[in-house]
Amino acid sequence: MYRSYLNHRTESGRLRCEPPRYLKCPEISLAGPWTPAMRSSKLSMGSGIMNHLLWSPMELMLEEAATKIVYPQAEEKLWAVAKCKFMQCIKRAIDLDSLRLSYSTKYTDNSVVETDQLIGLSKRADDVDTATDLVRKTVPGATFRLVEDFYVGINGIAHFNFKQQIKGIDIDNADFNVNILNGEVFSFGNSFYEGKVPESLSLAKRDAVDPVVALKGAVTTLQLPVDFQKASAKPKEGTETFALLSTTGTVREPEAKLVYLQTSDDSIALTWRIETDVMTNWLLTYVDAISGSEVKAVVDYSADATYQVYPWGLNDPTEGSRELLTDPFDDKASEFGWHSDGTTSYKTTRGNNGIAQSNWDDSSNYLGNPRPSDPEMSYVYPYPIESSDWKGYSNASITQLFYTSNMYHDLLYKLGFTEAAGNFELNNNDQGGRGNDFVVLNAQDGSGMNNANFATPPDGQTGRMRMYMWNTTTPWRDCSFDAGVIIHEYSHGLSNRLTGGPANSNCLSVQESAGMGEGWGDFMATAIRLKPGDTRDTDYGMGAWVKNAPSLRPYLYSTNMKTNPHVYKDNDALVKVHFTGTVWATMLYEVMWNLIDKYGKNDAGMPTFENGVPTDGKFLIMKLVVDGMALQPCNPTFVSARDAILDADKALTGGVNACEIWTGFAKRGLGEGAVYKLNARTNSFVVPSRVC
């Protein structure tokens, strides 16, 4: 008889691997042998760290941990646990934050544009020509291309994005966005490279390594679970783009594209951009094209029926009870309803905006995963909240996730996140943008614990949301029943698609902009959960129910400086994007209450508009946030994002809310004169004298 045993090494406190903890990891089958990267990586089980994993069909030898597990080949539970824990440890083993892109973007707001006569001279008969001429005048001598994702928002502003090139090859993080209203430049953002291009770059292309070599460099450096031993490169349509065939360990075949990259020392490097989707992370890894091994930077992309659900506005089970709702969709935002894509109708949790299912085994085959189905389209399932059998209530979880995600889709549509703007729909029905990109919604996902995530590729590729179980309580809690977590994750799709244009999902990749990506999610979730009796003295935590704590964040969202003392300069000491996001969301919370005090609060699930403007303060700030995302430059700072919100108000209302907006930001140190400088920001509590 085979048995498993653990020799604990506890004197240093490093290892505490207890067999009962294994049962908390969903059982999943091991698909094929492990790659060298998986065998050599640190493996986290429970609270312990096991290093240098060697394997054979009959045993795992965990050398440094002095731990040995022996089991029969047919017994897959421990293999499943090991793979599950390995996939969770990828993010812990590799500090992706240290590999973030680092460069600055300048945003020229409308107040500057209106006083610059040279910008006014850029007006041409055609908006595209006007935008193109502005780019040429702003960065003389630069070569660039127009990105094919331009559109006109519901506020009448046309958005154009340009990508800088060197000898026909993109500089992947050199972007110029132009916003045009009534034929004239309204505002613009610029991160074009303006330094000298070394003559040696003209020869670098011929010295570039094979893209398979760069794939090896990315996999090895980042310790990805990808087997590249048989990989080969096949050219694709487009400039220097290759499919990397015969690999295993990814959801879709990796892709390599030859691009230039602005580096942190203000120089230019030729790189292979390696795209790998390993479920836990969806990465763009920029590998030096000459060495094939040095990783320069990394971007992680890591939404008539009856439903029994916690209705929209109830954040979690502590705020109310589930109800039976019939056809809650908005017929303009979801013109096919929630269970049709315009061609096929479904009797399950699938439609034009998303497809929801459980994913206990961390499978990439979402179509084959279980989801509730009913010929009468009655999605009514029990949710015994005190039950430890979370798989037993999976249909209720999937239904809640499907409902909340679709409600948010419909709200965002009304606020301006339409097909043309890059929203998530399978069939765009000739409304602009690229279709075939509904959100894959995974409830009870087996790839992790105590978290959730959203992967946002460019427009035309499916988004992916993964909702995990949380073991912070007994019994565990399912975060599909926490609307705030769903809204936060879906908001990553919103902000990544709008910032820099739908075709570019790399525009929230610098520390401060990535932090704002987290902050927008917290803010939108908090705004949606406001209750009729709330006032500016009401405080809210984020993820309190799933965490079983007052908040996931260091402070509650509050207008009280004693409860939440965050100011802009706090970012100097914050190295995690969620903490940076807390500062940004706190500022937006201040602005929201200023606008609610001015216009009141609409407690309905959807906004009421008058001449395109929400009639209340809550939905007005949400609208300004969405419009501001589309105006701001690629990788904005707090300062440029603030200015974009002010410009959004100017375009929408003529700027009548400048006082309330400035006052909210200035209270938290982002007033007139606030300055962004990495690790040396300057607070300003000044409200411009002209606005109030």
Token pair in block for residue 373: 């189905």
Domains of the chain: which residue ranges?
19-93, 106-190, 201-300, 306-498, 511-667
Is the pLDDT score of 113 beyond 90? no
Output the CATH code of domain 106-190. 3.10.450
Residue that wins the pLDDT comparison between 152 and 265: 152
Query: Where does 28-102 show beta strands of DSSP type E?
Result: 43-45, 48-50, 53-55, 59-62, 67-70
- Bigger pLDDT: 103 vs 322: 322
44 pLDDT above the threshold of 80: no
Residue whose C-alpha is closest to residue 252's, from 465, 489, 464: 464
Pairing type for strands 158-166 and 169-181 reads antiparallel
Residue 409, marked binder: no
How many of the other CB atoms lie within 10 Å of CB of 202?
Answer: 11
Q: Among the options 255, 275, 425, 489, which is catalytic? A: 489
> Annotated catalytic, 489?
yes
Instruction: Fill in the amino acid letter for 363.
Output: S
Concatenating the DSSP letter of every residue in 303-321 gives ---EEEEPPTT--SGGG--
CB 386 within 8 A of CB 475: yes
In the 8-state DSSP scheme, what is residue 91? H
CB 121 within 8 A of CB 109: no
Q: What mean pLDDT is predicted for residues 77-102?
A: 52
Q: In the prediction, which pLDDT does 238 show? A: 64
Q: Which CATH class is domain 306-498?
A: alpha beta
Q: Report pLDDT for 70.
A: 31
* pTM assigned to the model: 0.77
Tell me the C-alpha distance between 150 and 420, whole Å. Answer: 8
Best CA proximity match to 371, nearest among 327, 401, 408: 401
Q: Is the pLDDT reported for residue 14 higher than 60?
A: no
Specify burial of residue 205 (Cβ count, 10 A radius: 0-12, 13-18, 19+): middle
Mean pLDDT, the chain, rounded, equals 83
Task: Report whether pLDDT(10) > 80.
Answer: no
Rounded mean pLDDT of 55-84?
32
Give the CA count within 13 Å in the CB-facing half-sphere of 19: 10
122 pLDDT band, cuts 50/70/90, is low
Has 159 been labeled as part of a binding site?
Answer: no
Average pLDDT (25-31) is: 31
Per-residue confidence (pLDDT) for residue 260, from 0 to 100:
92
Q: Which of 120-124, 406-410, 523-527, 642-646 has the lowest mean pLDDT?
A: 120-124
Say yes or no to pLDDT of 43 above 60. Answer: no
Mean pLDDT of 283-294: 91
Give the pLDDT of residue 363.
82
Q: Look at the domain 511-667 and name its fold.
A: Neutral Protease; domain 2 (1.10.390)
pLDDT of residue 273: 94
